[in-house]
Structure formats: structure tokens, C-alpha cells
Amino acid sequence: MFENLSDKLQKVFKNLRGEGRLTAQNMETALKEIRVALLEADVHFRTVKQLMESVKEKALGQEVLDSLTPAQQVIKIVRDELLKTLGTHQAKLRLSSDPPSVLMIVGLQGSGKTTSAGKLAKHLAKQGHRPMLVSVDVYRPAARQQLSVVAKDIAIPVYEGTAEEAGKPVDLARSARREATQNNKDILLVDTAGRLHIDEELMVELQQLKDLLNPVEILFVADAMTGQDAVKSADEFHKRLGITGVILTKMDGDARGGAALSIRSVTGQPLKFVGIGEKPDAFEPFHPDRAVSRILGMGDVLSLIEKVEQTIDQKQAEKMQQKLMDNEFSLEDFRDQLKQLRKMGPLESLLGMMPDMGPLGKHMKNAKVDEKELTRIVAIIDSMTPNERVNHMIINGSRRRRIALGSGTSVQDVNGLLKQYTEARKMMKMISGGMLGKKMGKMKLPGFGNLGFPKF
């Protein structure tokens, strides 16, 4: 996986290592080499273009961390942009709250659908789920039997179907779902037929299955070794059917990684799992951060970069905490905190990581976090004048109307935000005087600034 690309990028970084500082010239050379490395790895040209534009912008911009050498800085920038391309977080499998969750496995012939359906079922069973399998590939004689063999091997039940259903994908799917429900299975994996090329008939059939089953996931299975062809067919399937994620198989044989790197930026749908061999266990959730470490290779440099970033975040967090304690926490700080939080990942997972803080903590962990809401709040604060941001008391009715207009929100939204903000300040004042303040002061939570806003 990614060996070729990794080798080439490491060479680029090595050449930079001798440089005392980043100049327009050595940057230019490095950027050119990175671009070539990506193209040679068969990354989609549009993905390369996007990636290189952001890398260039950052490299020439002012985002420089003093404690890193030029080479390390470039590595950091490339790492950040690769992560953005792959999706900063692992794209988890969605499951329905109304079981059985139906997962449709689609893709071209030979891409690895049947194998992956079995692997995924096994993976889910290991997590404590009760999956059931069904094959609706009624065209190739041995296709359904192949799934039965796979299922037996991993001890997952499979719906075999009746003689009347044998040639009818929709009937098979319907009965399989009923069977899954009756047997208290919480997940039904539907292995569908493939073709050598995308054709109308197949798409119509898949659409019928989709309409019937209302799947929570339509996973497109692509063979990584086919490179950009895999990306192209993923894109076509997505346009026709609306896929929700990709399983990239045969990564064990793909040294370049072009498909893996392009799929999300081309289709907009994340890579969820990778197949790394023929055996039922050769399958894993796709972790963008691990893939990036693998591509860049330099474990030690990456941990150094992380450490430097943590120190910076930590310093900022401490400054914010002090402001909170002193009740000088302005709307501007509030906005910066929100941006900081967003940078660190989905708020829910962040809140989930927090140590137990008694009733207040529980309240926060249960809080529904809405990223859209966050974007709106940032927009509202951005529409305020600097003076308004540090002095919220001056924001009267007409200012509120202006802010709402400027941020594309309503006066109610602005009122809501100001109310939450003032309540939070009040709460912080109370807390900073009492026991809790002392306890929290020691915890140094990076997202501490958000403590007062449990309503999102």
C-alpha cells in the first residue's frame, strides 16, 4: 500500500532537509517534485491540482511554526492537505435506528463484492452485531453459491431463497429482509450483481433494490489495482445511484494508491473500508491518519509535528481559560474557540473524550452538536464590528438587525447567540469562584472555552 508514493515523497523531503530555510526557489523545486510523485501514483489530476494549490498557498503563506525546520514545515503542510483530501476522520459505517439496517454492496464484476460482503459481515459480527447475508446476483450461475461458501466459512447466516425466487433479485431481497427481521438480525448485507461495464439494465435493477430496501449504506466496491478506472466507475455509480461510501479492495497489490487518494475528492463519498488480501480477515476500516502516516513514512517527524501543535493548542487553551476566569471572555474569543474546536474534529467525539465532570459534564456530553449551527454562529460573530465583539452590551436592536442581515441569519438567531453567550459568562463566573473552577483549571482541556454552551 502506497509504497511507491511514499518512497518518492521521502526523497523530496530528504532533499529539503539540507536547506536552512524555505526560499521561493527550493519550495518551487519541492512542489514540482511532489506534484510529479502524486501524478505518478495515479492520483486523479483534479485531486492533484486541488492538493497542490492548497499546499502551495500554505507553503508560501505565513503559517510557519518556529520550532520546525523547513523540511518539517513542508511535511506538515503536505500531511495536513493529504488528510483533508482523505477526510480528516474515519468515515464510520452508518446503521439504521430501525433494524435491520440494510447495506447494499454494489460494483463491477470481479471487484470483490462477494468477498467484501463476507468480510464486512465478519467484521460486524466481531463487533457484536448479528448480520445476515443475501446474494441477489442471479445472473452468474455460481455467484450465489459463492456467497454461501463464504458465509459458511465465517459462520454467518445467509438467506438462500426459494426456488421461485431464484431468478428474481427484488423478491429475494424482500424475503431476505423479512427473514432477517424474524430472526432478530440487526444488519442485512445485500451482495448485488455486477457487470463488466456499467449498463442501463443493471442500474435499473439496483435502483429497484434501493427503492425497495431503503438501505442506510450503498457501498461501492472498487478494485484499487484498476486505479483511475475504479474512481471513474465509483463516480458514475454515485451519479446514478447515490453511493454512500467506498470499499477499496486489493490494496495489498496496489503500490501506488492513486484510487485511494482520489476517490473522496472526485466522488465526494468517503473510503470506508479497505480489502488487503483474500482471507476473510484481510479487511479493515480505513483510517485517513494512518494512511497519511504510511504515505509520508516518517513516524518520528510526524510525532514531532504533533507535539509542536499540541503545545500551541495548549498555550491557547490556557490563555482562554484565564480569560474565562477573569470574565474577559469576549465574543471574539468565543468564535476563536469554536474555530479551534472544529479544527480538532467533530464536537461529539471531543466531548466524548472529556473526563467525567459530574452533572455539568453529562449535560454537555448529551448535548447535540450541530456543525451547521457552529458555522452559523461563526458567521454571526464575523458580521459584528470589532467593538461589538469585545463589548456585547452595545449590541442593540438595530445592530442586531444589521448583524443578522450581514450573516444571512435572523434576528432570533442573533438573540439566541447573545443569550447563550451571556449565560455562559455568568456560569463561568460562578464556576471560577468555586471548587469546580479549581478542579477544571487543573484539567487543561483544549475545548474548555465551549463549556458554557451546552445547547448546541
Ligand X SMILES: Nc1nc2c(ncn2[C@@H]2O[C@H](COP(=O)(O)OP(=O)(O)O)[C@@H](O)[C@H]2O)c(=O)[nH]1
The answer to whether 117 and 215 are in contact (CB under 8 A) is: no
Contacts of 397 (CB under 8 A, 6+ apart): none
| Binds 150: which of ligand X, Mg ion, none (CB < 5-8 Å by kind) | none
Query: What's the CA gap between 269 and 203, in Å, rounded?
Result: 19
Judged by CB under 5 A, the chain residues 129 through 168 that form the site for Mg ion are: 143
Interface with ligand X, residue 275, by CB under 6 A: yes
Least spacing, CB of residue 204 vs ligand X, in Å? 19
Least spacing, CB of residue 237 vs ligand X, in Å? 13
Query: What's the CA gap between 200 and 196, in Å, rounded?
Result: 12
Q: What are phi and psi of 181, to 5 degrees?
A: -65, -50
Find the binder of ligand X among 87, 277, 346, 437 (CB under 6 A). 277
Interface with ligand X, residue 382, by CB under 6 A: no
Interface with ligand X, residue 299, by CB under 6 A: no
Nearer to ligand X, 110 or 434 (CB): 110
Exposed / middle / buried, residue 350 (Cβ in 10 Å: 0-12, 13-18, 19+): middle
Question: In this structure, are strands 217-223 and 187-191 parallel, antiparallel, or unpaired?
Answer: unpaired
Least spacing, CB of residue 193 vs Mg ion, in Å? 8
Interface with ligand X, residue 114, by CB under 6 A: yes
Interface with ligand X, residue 107, by CB under 6 A: yes
Least spacing, CB of residue 249 vs ligand X, in Å? 4
Interface with ligand X, residue 111, by CB under 6 A: yes
Find the binder of ligand X among 35, 44, 58, 113 (CB under 6 A). 113
Question: Around 331, how many Cα atoms within 13 Å sit in the side-chain half-sphere?
Answer: 26
> Which range, of 22-30, 273-281, 324-332, 382-390, touches ligand X by CB under 6 A?
273-281
> Pick from 304, 237, 406, 376: which is nearest to 79 by CA?
304
Judged by CB under 6 A, the chain residues 231 through 250 that form the site for ligand X are: 249-250
| Binds 252: which of ligand X, Mg ion, none (CB < 5-8 Å by kind) | ligand X
Least spacing, CB of residue 114 vs Mg ion, in Å? 3
Query: What's the CA gap between 162 and 174, in Å, rounded?
Result: 12
Nearer to Mg ion, 114 or 407 (CB): 114
Least spacing, CB of residue 146 vs Mg ion, in Å? 6
Nearer to ligand X, 251 or 384 (CB): 251
Find the binder of Mg ion among 72, 85, 111, 114 (CB under 5 A). 114
Q: Render 4-40 in DSSP notation, one character per residue.
A: HHHHHHHHHHHHHHT-SS--HHHHHHHHHHHHHHHHH
Interface with ligand X, residue 115, by CB under 6 A: yes
| Binds 111: which of ligand X, Mg ion, none (CB < 5-8 Å by kind) | ligand X
C-alpha cell of 245?
A: 461510501
How would you label 254-267 residue by residue, b for 16+ Cβ within 10 Å and e otherwise?
Answer: bebbbbbbbbbbbb
Query: What's the CA gap between 192 and 117, in Å, rounded?
Result: 10
C-alpha cell of 247?
A: 470499499
DSSP 168: -
- Angle formed by the axes of helices 411-433 and 299-325, nearest 10°: 90
Nearer to ligand X, 252 or 313 (CB): 252
| Binds 167: which of Mg ion, ligand X, none (CB < 5-8 Å by kind) | none
Interface with Mg ion, residue 192, by CB under 5 A: no
Interface with Mg ion, residue 244, by CB under 5 A: no
Site for ligand X, rule CB under 6 A: 107, 109-115, 194, 221, 249-250, 252-253, 275-278, 282
Binding footprint of Mg ion on the chain (CB under 5 A): 113-114, 143
